[in-house]
Structure 1
């Protein structure tokens, strides 16, 4: 089988890009000739991964769009025609059997147009923000309904199926993401200081990520620890100025890492900080899931839907997830101080998987049929 996967892909940072990366790896490993068409080469510098990517597998082919377009009025990046043009070239040159799309806009629209032109069936996937910002808000209402209705299959999950049921009965229930346990597994990187990390974007609306709470909680917090912010974004300068106004000690900023290097980063840390209270879109978090698979403890809050993550993994120790009362800065600071004080060196939790990466790839291949 030959598939054309149109989606976000590294060097774009983010959940959809990372999920597409691991899915493409899994498909190619199964012998599926996988062609990824992406505008990843055009991503803004604030959201670009600068890590060197690993060499792709022999039957995994990455096709970037042409970044150059003539100047025109009103100016537009023209991602739909750029992606469509590249996808048409890929389908013509490689006898593609199936089109897969990683996000409703623009990739789902491109998949629909490509299918209309070539007659090749397409599968539609979604994220979380595309549902909230576009579909549920009625943006591009007529177009998106057409794209959904015409899809040969909709890959969704039980949490979002109601969005599509009235438009398309061909729903395939697959978990949003399952980490590859061969990469995301408990492994200790020796270090002598408890290490906590926030991993993600730092957008204009960085308070939606509860980054202001993290700064306030760690302001003046004493003890021997490291606090790492692994993130970039258009709000980085604003947030770094905010941090400079707080008495944070032992902290550092790092740039994004490639999905292939995320397991190594998680092995370096002891605690992932992942709050959801301030996010208007309480969406699925890849890195929360990857942390659990890697045996990393997660500091979160009471708004996080933990069932979404523990549905496919059985935690051997409930202390791996720590719910913090982040509305009470003092109480949260006290709790984290205790965690740091009683840290006994780097260690990881070993859990039992209920659903593995192999099953995840099997489910995707079944949807293709």
Structure 2
């Protein structure tokens, strides 16, 4: 089967959870499942990066004068490219319902190409708050299958769009041979408000543990100033490539993901659990479906700094309890999110959508 995957951003230009997951998914679909795979994504200024990948990569022309112009030109160019290629494609997989799902709708209406969209997090939660984006969401929900990553996200969607046709399918994750045996309380992700790192900095005031913050973003300078005002050993690592994230997880005793909004199912959460690292996070979107409170980690309400601080200390200070959480977390991810399971379920989706 020829599978086309449409994703707005792609490494090395943007490295986030959706982008990292898309690269690995395309590789697994091509190598393990035997599909012909083509990924359509934005182009960026400068020399074209060299990608040594077992799938075709099409970078559509995109102007980057502003976020709006970038998104608009991506939608127009991706639509034109897919209109030209549609006769050779069996199914179109749109990573993010907005804006990729809107492209899928247009191309399907004009060519009959079967498609589905896959909500990743902020693409849905932020888009639904903007009137014209919400209308685009409704159009896709009325027209196609939309995958979500957890049952909690499905419930959120049904409250807003009760007639949506939904399926639940999470991310894939490798189960490494090694498990973590480190000492750090670690955060990995973009340093932007929705990640809640400001709450982490406040919560670890007075904590006698090493705190490592891996990632970069628009709030880094603010967070570094905030960290200067608390009594804690906080180290900012900066952005690291995806293949270096495991070394920081292996050096951790705890992953803290204090998201305040816009998350679907953060990939780093699954990676940490696969490495035997328990997680303290928040009751945002699909996170509680994976971080089962008191079993595989802890969840607290977003922006509740006192509760966040309490759970961080509880995990850090009780070695036996932390080991129990770590074992449960690894076993849960291995049973529910291994790549072979995801690929089998994704093949079922392709067969259902393509007919």
Rounded to whole Å, the distance in 2 between the matches of 1:303 and 1:166 is 20
Rounded to whole Å, the distance in 2 between the matches of 1:329 and 1:271 is 13
Please, which of 14, 26, 29 is the counterpart of residue 27 of structure 1?
29
Rounded to whole Å, the distance in 2 between the matches of 1:13 and 1:4 is 20
> Are residues 1:177 and 2:171 paired?
yes
Rounded to whole Å, the distance in 2 between the matches of 1:337 and 1:268 is 14
Where is the helix percentage greater, Structure 1 or Structure 2? 2
2:223 aligned partner = 239
Pairs within 5 Å for 1:114-193: 114-135=107-128, 138-151=131-144, 153-156=145-148, 158-159=151-152, 160=154, 162=158, 166-169=162-165, 171=166, 173-179=167-173, 183-188=174-179
Which ranges of structure 2 fall in alignment gaps of 5 or more residues?
none
1:48 aligned partner = none
Rounded to whole Å, the distance in 1 between the matches of 2:287 and 2:137 is 30
Pairs within 5 Å for 1:8-87: 8-11=9-12, 12-28=14-30, 29-39=32-42, 41=44, 55-57=52-54, 60-68=55-63, 76-77=69-70, 78-87=73-82
Larger CA Rg, structure 1 vs 2: 1
- Aligned-residue offset at 1:272: 0.7
Q: TM-score, normalised by structure 1?
A: 0.74
Q: 1:56 to 1:266 in 2, by over 3 A?
A: farther
Which ranges of structure 1 fall in alignment gaps of 5 or more residues?
43-51
Q: TM-score, normalised by structure 2?
A: 0.76
Pairs within 5 Å for 1:232-311: 232-249=216-233, 251-258=235-242, 260-276=243-259, 279-281=260-262, 283-300=264-281, 307-309=288-290
- Report if aligned partners of 1:9, 1:17 keep a CA contact under 8 Å in 2: yes
The one-character-per-residue Cα deviations of 1:173-215 (angstroms, maximum 9, x if unpaired) are: 2323232xxx33351477xx61221111112xx2x43322322
- Aligned-residue offset at 1:229: 0.9
Aligned length: 331
2:341 aligned partner = 359
- Report if aligned partners of 2:298, 2:311 keep a CA contact under 8 Å in 1: no
- Aligned-residue offset at 1:262: 3.7
The one-character-per-residue Cα deviations of 1:124-183 (angstroms, maximum 9, x if unpaired) are: 2222323222236543344333333333x33235431626875454x4x2323232xxx3
Q: 1:19 to 1:329 in 2, by over 3 A?
A: closer
- Aligned-residue offset at 1:68: 5.0
- Aligned-residue offset at 1:322: 4.7
- Report if aligned partners of 1:298, 1:322 keep a CA contact under 8 Å in 2: yes
Q: 1:86 to 1:155 in 2, by over 3 A?
A: same
2:5 aligned partner = 5
- Report if aligned partners of 1:188, 1:268 keep a CA contact under 8 Å in 2: no
Rounded to whole Å, the distance in 2 between the matches of 1:348 and 1:331 is 18
- Report if aligned partners of 1:188, 1:348 keep a CA contact under 8 Å in 2: no
Rounded to whole Å, the distance in 2 between the matches of 1:202 and 1:99 is 32
